[in-house]
């Protein structure tokens, strides 16, 4: 029985499944806490939580990961040296050093200046020892990559250093975005290499010798070799895997896929079994890239969202993530007694009376933290504590505890009341410690001047309303509207009866979605049925919804896409602009035939390298013509060719 091991490293949990693709059955599934300081620990724990299985049956391991996204958001990665050819920098770039040299091409792929090889040599001399990788971006290299290729060859002769060329990552226009993409890819090279090495070490330890593949941001799979070369392709890997999982688990081809994880809720709209792609490129950590990824709307509302009561007694849900009281009290049951002693009337700056803290990782650098911070670290080394109990142990007023820097550095973690705890209070989900959740609810309910039942009802209603709003917001984004519906007074007025049950306006709002909702993630059973009722649409919660991302990783396909553009030549004939070279032909049919044959060859070769035995080829060809003004003459503008090789990687020996 050949199996695929699918693993997803989310913000809170690492999920795993063993999938039999012959029968399309999930044979085993498990969860473990994601260990962001070392993802391999969480992966090892997840595999161990699946119980005993024959590692020889595992023919493929497929991983979706948050690593690239998180690294970009947090500004982590190696030092990048950038060589710009033919154009100055037009904005901020994620680099350590930048050098501009003469060269580059025009829109037709004709050189505008000779490449300055001597300037590149000088740049390499200056960068040696100052950077770890080099990115090369030449002006309009998508029309002719020869200057990037020549620069790469020269640098390789001078210095053994990882090199990234912009034309290898995208064929889209946009010099700045293409340059950013190349720089981020270069910055991620050692990070993804470290992850792959760690994962392979875990697999070896578990005697799993199967090849490893990674989920790309469009939901397709990429080989380990390609992942090492193009780690930037793995941004939004986790949300993309959930979409693939939604289709696999439900069989539906038209739906709104909603994945409510620990940190965020991710929404994508499926048509014909695939999400719409963001052709302009994904934006991550404020950097606009040219990486094509699934069009996914992400909102800061999840099972671990921080629930607070403000000083003016307003309920605030998210977007900050904390550890749920119910989850951590399983490990530190002493928190329950500490929470029972909390006086809900005590005011505290920048925290809630229900807040507790735990040690996430003890720092190595002793000089980085002051005496009081070390007292906090040492106090939390034995056990987690409520903020008032922690203040007593440290001997400081709770308002004067220096927690911010420790929390930001992920040395300590904040524990408080969350939507996961609410489900424990409601007895909807009781996998963890119910008593701790009830104590947290008691404290917040008192601050709202509500009884426990009314408090739980209010929080449930507001979370469901927020989920409805995220769905409506995703449709606004789909239409290209970058407005915040929640901040629009007129929208709030019109939707008040729908979202908050306010029927005192003299009218009633109703909305009907044209899509069923496929709800994924552990918390959805507690929230989404009511959301479906509000939006008048069915909600599908498939079996294994809580590990849908891992199912998506295991059931994904390889998809290798090649794009080619054919345009009229300056002096007649036709020019083929391909990712590997610019080539001229006398006749259009000859240009198209050669371009198509080469694109098929490259797409097939890449798919086969990724483990697909018999890839299926999909060819799309679009001819762009223009009619002359006042006449019937037709002018040829360009031909666009797309060739995609798709298929499941072979898991049979």
**Percent helix, percent strand, percent coil in the chain, to nearest 5:** 40, 25, 35
Lookup: tokens for 44? 């090892």
pLDDT value of residue 12: 76
Phi, psi angles (nearest 5°) of residue 554: -75, -30
Kindly report the backbone phi and psi dihedral angles of residue 175, in degrees, each rounded to the nearest multiple of 5, phi listed first: -60, -45
Residue whose tokens read 């973690």 = 413
| Integer Cα distance of 105 and 570 in angstroms | 14
> For position 504, what pLDDT does the model report?
64
Return the bridge partners of 412, or none.
359
Asked whether the CA dihedral 433, 436, 438, 441 is positive or negative, the reply is: negative
Q: State which residues of the chain have pLDDT below 50.
A: 652-653
Instruction: Check: CB of residue 607 under 8 Å from CB of residue 558.
Output: yes
Longest C-alpha distance within the chain, in Å? 88
pTM exceeding the 0.85 threshold for the entire prediction? no
In this structure, the strands spanning 634-647 and 558-568 are antiparallel
Contacts 24+ apart (CB under 8 A), 391-397: 396/372
- Measured CA distances, 102 to 9, 109, 114, 163, 195 (Å): 44, 16, 7, 19, 37
Rounded to whole angstroms, the Cα distance separating 618 from 644 reads 5
- Closest C-alpha to 394, from 375, 373, 413, 366: 375
């Amino acid at each position: 029985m050949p199996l695929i091991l699918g693993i997803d490293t989310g913000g809170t949990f690492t999920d795993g499944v063993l999938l039999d693709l012959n029968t399309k059955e999930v044979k085993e599934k498990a969860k473990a806490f994601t260990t962001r300081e070392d993802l391999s620990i969480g992966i090892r724990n997840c595999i161990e939580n699946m119980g005993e299985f024959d590692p020889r049956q595992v023919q493929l391991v497929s991983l979706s990961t948050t690593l690239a996204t998180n690294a970009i958001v947090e500004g982590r990665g190696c030092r990048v040296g950038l060589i710009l050819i033919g154009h100055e920098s037009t904005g901020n770039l994620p680099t350590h050093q930048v050098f501009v040299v003469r060269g580059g091409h025009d829109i037709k792929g004709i050189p505008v200046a000779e490449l300055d090889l001597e300037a590149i040599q000088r740049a390499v001399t200056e960068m040696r020892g100052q950077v770890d990788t080099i990115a090369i971006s030449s002006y309009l290299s998508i029309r002719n990559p020869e200057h990037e290729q020549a620069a790469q060859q020269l640098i390789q002769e001078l210095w053994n250093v990882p090199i990234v060329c912009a034309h290898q990552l995208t064929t889209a226009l946009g010099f700045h975005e293409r340059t950013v993409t190349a720089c981020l890819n270069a910055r991620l090279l050692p990070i993804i290499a470290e992850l792959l090495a760690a994962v392979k070490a875990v697999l070896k330890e578990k005697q799993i010798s199967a090849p490893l593949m990674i989920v790309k941001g469009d939901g397709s799979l990429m080989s380990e070799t390609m992942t090492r070369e193009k780690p930037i392709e793995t941004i939004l890997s986790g949300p993309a895997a959930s979409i693939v999982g939604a289709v696999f688990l439900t069989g539906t081809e038209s739906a709104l896929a909603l994945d409510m994880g620990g940190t965020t809720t991710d929404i994508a709209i499926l048509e014909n079994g695939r999400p719409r792609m963001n052709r302009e490129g994904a934006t991550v950590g404020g950097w606009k890239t040219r990486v094509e990824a699934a069009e996914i709307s992400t909102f800061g509302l999840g099972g671990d969202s921080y629930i607070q009561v403000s000083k003016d007694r307003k309920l605030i849900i998210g977007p900050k993530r904390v550890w749920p009281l119910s989850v951590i009290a399983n490990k530190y049951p002493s928190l329950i007694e500490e929470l029972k002693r909390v006086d809900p009337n005590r005011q505290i700056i920048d925290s809630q009376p229900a807040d507790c803290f735990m040690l996430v990782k003890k720092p190595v650098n002793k000089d980085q933290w002051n005496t009081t911070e070390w007292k906090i670290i040492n106090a939390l080394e034995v056990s987690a504590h409520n903020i008032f109990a922690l203040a007593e142990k440290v001997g400081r007023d709770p308002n004067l505890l220096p927690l911010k820097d420790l929390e930001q550095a992920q040395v300590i973690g904040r524990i408080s009341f969350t939507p996961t705890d609410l489900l424990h209070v409601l007895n909807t989900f009781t996998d963890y410690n119910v008593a701790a959740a009830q104590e947290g609810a008691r404290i917040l309910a008192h601050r709202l001047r509500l009884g426990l039942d009314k408090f739980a009802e209010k929080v449930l209603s507001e979370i469901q309303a927020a989920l409805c709003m995220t769905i409506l917001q995703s449709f606004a984004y789909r239409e290209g509207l970058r407005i915040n519906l929640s901040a629009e007074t007129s929208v709030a007025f019109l939707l008040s009866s729908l979202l908050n049950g306010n029927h005192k306006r003299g009218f009633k709002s109703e909305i009907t979605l044209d899509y069923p909702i496929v709800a994924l993630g552990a918390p959805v059973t507690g929230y989404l049925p009511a959301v479906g009722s509000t939006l008048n649409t069915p909600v599908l919660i498939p079996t294994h919804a809580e590990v849908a991302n891992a199912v998506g990783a295991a059931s994904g396909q390889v998809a290798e896409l090649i794009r080619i553009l054919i345009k009229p030549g300056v002096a007649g004939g036709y020019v083929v602009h391909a990712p590997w070279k610019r080539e001229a032909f006398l006749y259009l049919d000859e240009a198209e035939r050669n371009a198509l044959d080469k694109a098929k060859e490259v797409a097939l070769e890449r798919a086969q390298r990724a483990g697909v035995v018999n890839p299926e080829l999909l060819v799309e060809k679009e001819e762009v013509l223009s009619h002359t003004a006042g006449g019937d003459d037709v002018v040829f503008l360009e031909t666009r060719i797309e060739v995609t090789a798709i298929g499941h990687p072979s898991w049979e020996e």
